[in-house]
Amino acid sequence: MSNINKVVLAYSGGLDTSIILKWLQDTYGCEVVTFTADIGQGEEVEPARAKAKAMGVKEIYIEDLREEYVRDFVFPMFRANTIYEGEYLLGTSIARPLIAKRLVEIANETGADAISHGATGKGNDQVRFELGAYALKPDVKVIAPWREWNLTSRETLMAYAKEHNIPVDYAKAGKKSPYSMDANLLHISYEGGVLEDPWHEPEEDMWRWSVSPEKAPDKPTYVELEFKCGDVVAVDGKPMSPATVLELLNKIGGANGIGRDDIVENRYVGMKSRGAYETPGGTILLKAHRAIESLTLDREVAHLKDELMPRYASLIYNGYWWSPERKMLQTMIDASQATVNGLVRMKLYKGNVYVAGRKSESNSLFDEKIATFEDDAGAYNQKDAEGFIKLNALRLRIAARKLKD
């Protein structure tokens, strides 16, 4: 352990990472650099600076990464209409490659020998952080305290904090939270507590971002999204940055009871896990993006994207954002979005998201002259369908004749 002189720690300033900070100092006898990221978790990150200083940390990084997070990670993922196992919008998964990237960059800037994180040995996050780190810095040393120490409960963590005079809010830390929560601009997740029983319905007071659909307004809310190359660039005619788009959609969606989900998912490490999620803005964004694609994408391009999406989703969920295969898929996905331009009008009502209209002045592939049920003035020759059908039925007819023989 003596070869570790400096470690960059992903640090929130909470109980777990405060203890990890001290544990690293004592166990490895090393200098610790702290990195705290604001990715829209809704909590003040600046107090982490004072806590780190109180523990002797000299190099403290506190960064607002909200725009980078949405622009370079969330939006590229939504261009693929990404959903894991049919439901999960990957709110936790997509935040990890950004954190891993900054951990490695800070390690390079400060000459650190290792990075460290507070993910447990049971979850997916340890995989995501470390796969990302190794992809960006192959020889990096990773220290995962939860896989090394013997602190196995909140009680042992608090006892360690008191023994080592670690500056934590004992009143707050000692109050057992019923859930393990993770939040960023895309979502907030809930695990543990009563949710460990898949039969138990989530309690209403658990939800933080959304009203219940039953208590949502009795009148629908309409919102108009402008897309350019597959990304939302304006809401109701007002140009917005990626992060402000998602912030606004979260607010509008939450007020209409949109974005709640309750999932039993398959973790990469092998176990099933039950979690509840709130993703109001992402739920609106996904529906709207599919709507504008339905108007502007070639049929076979759209179908190919849908076929590849589950693989792309698994890559993100399992921590392979920085892999060559994800990058290859992203190149294809981004190329498909050149024509995904236009407006989508969404109707939000009591937990539901409807497409109320879509149009694209320059890229729409919808031809009303051909699609009309009225007189098309010869734009489409219906007699052509006969040969088309017979050619496609040829193999079926041959097989049917053989069965009769």
Distance between CA atoms of residues 131 and 115, nearest Å: 13
Q: Which residues pair with 86 in a beta bridge?
A: none
- Tens-digit pLDDT profile for residues 241-272: 999 999 999 999 999 999 999 999 999 999 99
Residue 93 known to be catalytic? no
**Residue recorded with tokens 């600046």:** 46
Q: 193-249: per-residue pLDDT in tens?
A: 999 999 999 999 999 999 999 999 999 999 999 999 999 999 999 999 999 999 999
Half-sphere exposure of 221 (CA within 13 A, CB side): 20
Instruction: Measure the CA–CA gap between 95 and 105, rounded to whole angstroms.
Output: 16
H helices of 274-361, in order, are: 280-296, 299-318, 324-336
2 pLDDT higher than 80: no
Of 256, 282, 276, nearest to 351 by C-alpha is 256
Per-residue model confidence as pLDDT tens digits over 286-316: 999 999 999 999 999 999 999 999 999 999 9
Please report, rounded to a whole number, the percentage of residues in the chain having pLDDT higher than 70: 97
> Is the pLDDT assigned to residue 25 strictly greater than 90?
yes
The pair of three-digit structure tokens given for residue 95, joined into one six-digit string = 């935040």
Quick one: average pLDDT of 365-377?
Answer: 91
Question: Tens digit of pLDDT for each residue in 10-24?
Answer: 999 888 999 999 999
CA distance 173 to 166: 12
What pLDDT, on a 0 to 100 scale, did the predictor assign at position 404? 85
> Which pLDDT does position 169 carry in this prediction?
64
Question: Of the residues 96, 128, 260, 274, which is catalytic?
Answer: 96
* pLDDT (mean) for 52-60: 95
pLDDT at position 168 is 67
* Mean pLDDT, rounded, for 367-371: 91
**209 by DSSP, 3-state: which?**
coil
Domains of the chain in start order, with CATH, are: 6-65+94-176 (3.40.50.620), 182-297+340-359 (3.90.1260.10), 371-404 (no CATH)
Indicate if 260 belongs to the active site: no
Mean pLDDT, the chain, as a whole number?
94
Assign 62 to helix, strand or coil. strand
Determine contact, residues 104/130, Cβ cutoff 8 Å.
no
Closest CA to 46 of 7, 9, 8, 12: 12
Residue 158: what pLDDT? Answer: 87
Residue by residue, DSSP assigns 69-80 as HIIIIIHHHHTT
Catalytic residue among 12, 16, 273, 326: 16
What is the per-residue pLDDT for 133?
98
pLDDT of residue 126: 97
How many Cβ atoms are within 10 Å of 138's Cβ, its own excluded? 7
| 386: CB partners within 8 A, 6+ apart | none
State which amino acid sits at residue 64: D
pLDDT(333) > 60: yes
The active-site residue out of 180, 314, 323, 364 is 180
**Catalytic residue from among 38, 113, 125, 231:** 125
How crowded is residue 150: how many other Cβ atoms within 10 Å of its Cβ? 6
218 among known catalytic residues: no
Given pLDDT bands bounded at 50, 70 and 90, which one contains residue 176? Answer: low
Reported as a pLDDT band with limits 50, 70 and 90, residue 157 is confident
DSSP SS3 for 346: strand
Q: Is the pLDDT of residue 357 over 60?
A: yes
Q: Determine whether 16 is an active site residue.
A: yes
- Structural element, H or E, at residue 124: none
